[in-house]
Amino acid sequence: MTQSDIREEVLDILRDIAPDEDLTQLKDNQSFREQMELDSMDFLDIVMELRKRHRIQIPEDDYVNLRSMDSTVAYLEPLMKNIERV
């Protein structure tokens, strides 16, 4: 997956988790929690959805890397580079 593919995948997951949120104005360098009404369970849902969709294991210590779109894409890129977008 390219960075663009990963970004779209994360947006798709966010749409599923927070369907009432307007993601069109999402700033890539700002924390998801600052921009959206996500609680810790929603955040965990993002991690679980990545595991379910792509079998990616994200250790709890690495959750801090999923704080914004930029950091999430940078963290996931090496893990998802050989995954094809469906």
Distance (Å) of CA 2 to CA 8, 35, 40, 66: 10, 24, 28, 17
Cβ atoms within 10 Å of 38's Cβ, excluding its own: 19
Which residue ranges form the domains of the chain, and what is each CATH number? 3-80 (1.10.1200.10)
Alpha helices per DSSP H over 1-86: 3-17, 32-35, 40-54, 69-80
pTM here is: 0.89
Give me the pLDDT at residue 82, please.
81
% of the chain surpassing 90 pLDDT? 80
Q: Sorting pLDDT into bands at 50, 70 and 90, what band is 86?
A: low
